[in-house]
Structure 1
Amino acid sequence: MKIQEILSILKKLAPEENQSSWDNSGVQVAGIVTETDKVAVTLEPTPAAVSRCIEWGAGAVITHHPLYMKPKAPSAEGMYLDVLRSVIPAGSWLYAAHTSLDTRPGGPAFWLGEALGLTGGRLLEVEHGRAPVEASFYCEEPISREAADIWADHGGVHSVAQSRTGEVRLVCDESHWRGLADKIEFSLGRRPLFYLRSLTAPVSEVGFGEAGELPEPMPFAAFMDRLSGLVKRDALLVAGPRPETVRTVAYCGGSGTSLIERAARAGADVFVTGDMKYHPAVETPVCVVDVGHFSLEEEMMRRFAMELDEALPGAEVRFFPGDDPFSVYGK
């Protein structure tokens, strides 16, 4: 399968325009192979994990965390240089789907809410909110049903219509407009004169974390037992007031300490996240369960690998489990 096809599908499943301003989602190392039949997925771009992927023969390695946040010279010994020494000689591509994947609505970052059966899901933190655009142009001849269907099937398109006077109106997400305009030009054999205007609603929002309601309230101990089974952790850290029953659950993969107040405002009885810090734990107004940075995101990437396997019929996709850097002493 061509590398550019793989990259195109990755960008649809983890839209780079949705990443945070501080992030570096996207290509980390541009390889020289133009085709591959093996795509590896793993959480962390550690030398050990990347080497396992390369040894398997992966022409593309997909990780969650970026290899670097800002460009840096490969001039010092360490993990960064070790990864480059593994990837570059193989000619493979290294790609990171970080906050671009975290923020995808309904994506694998929201797997815990799905597993718990949460309803009424709402974002804890909105990263981007975008209103669609309306594009219009005049076409003397009626648009064929085939052409209209092709335009309507383009990503981000909400509606396609033509009036009796020949005016064609399309509503689509702004990020998809350029590709749609090219598709219209190809269909018509010319570039029409487009009139664009931004709409105020509906606004498409993407962001981090979610709050929702369990199908039925659960005793706190029963909820913790269920959570332990889902995240597969030997020990869970709990801070803050423990509720007698749990109905509303908030969660955020990775490091979610900064979202505690948002979880409380969302009415959460419990907030599940990782990387809890001491002072926020002392002051938290809501029960926080720290399941570790690794557990939620490891499962996210396993599910992302399954999604990619379906989306890349021309390549074999394999998930390479990572290693949690933390362990419980004596276990």
Structure 2
Amino acid sequence: MSRVLVTGGSGFIAGHVIVALLRAGHEVRATLRNLSRADEVKANVRGGGADPEHDLSFVVADLDHDAGWAEAVQSCDYVQHVASPLPFEGPENEEDLIRPARDGTLRVLKAARDAGVKRVVLTSSFAAIGYGHGNRAKPFTEADWSNLASPEVGAYPKSKTIAERAAWDFIQSEGVALELAVINPVAVFGPVLGPGAGSSVRIIRMMLDGHMRVAPHMGFGLVDVRDVADLHLRAMTDPKAKGERFLAVAGEPLWMIDVARVLHKKFGTAAAAAPRREIPNWVVRLLAPFVPMLRQIVPQLGILRRASNEKARQVLGWSPRTNEEAIAATGESLLRLGVVKPRRS
């Protein structure tokens, strides 16, 4: 089988990509900013049902620095470039997100090209597709791009859009024989492999542990992380994925209160602290100047963005789990691993 580099090996999506690659028989090399996290990643991989002892190795590389990337991609057939900064709260300076996302992607692509890698699969985001268009009824597709001129677009959508456009520009002008495929997930839920959890998973964590007692009136598409990993593997080797981007979305978007309702239905008393009502938009706007997390979501209030998964289904044969399965798997893993200590309502 192939040797595959996975960037940002300690991340939520990357962990599941590593598990999927190992279970498919590939040899995996993962980048970390610090090798002290290698044992944690190995434990996560075991938790995901794969053996990390023989075909998983680690190398130090950082998106902010050139050092390490040539060694990281050496003798690799493919690269899964998953690493990118994803804060739960907006940064003080948007360049703190944009710079590592864009420059890090270009570092990986240049190193991959120079090493003779066949194809890079880039983890982009729906944030590079569906932002800055208001409350649009028509579902978004891979033909769409976020409108960075809109005031609704924050630092994270900017970083993902700029980084992905830079990647496509590089392939066209300097890529030579290197191929690129891009995955654009919506909010990624699903089972956590260890105590660390991704930003979207933190929503479920906050609902279950009582830190989110009311839900803002905002909506988003969902997808299970296991299906995101599966789509990454399909895009890595399928000839039809060359030069294409693929939306990873399970189905219709949900309002945040609907996510809480799934938790109540699935977990009963264990989800007693999850929201049962929405907080009015005017209250969110009133508190936003004093609460950074609320300030970030104000432009998203009342917006429900639909997205189509038809391309991934038709071109790559992808078949994702339902929204409800993704939410339930998230909650089950957080409770089972003791990441969440449920509170009474």
Per residue, is there more helix in 1 or in 2?
A: 2
Which has more radius of gyration? Answer: 1
TM-score (norm 2): 0.29
User: Comparing both structures, which one devotes a greater share of its residues to strand?
Assistant: 1
Q: TM-score, normalised by structure 1?
A: 0.30
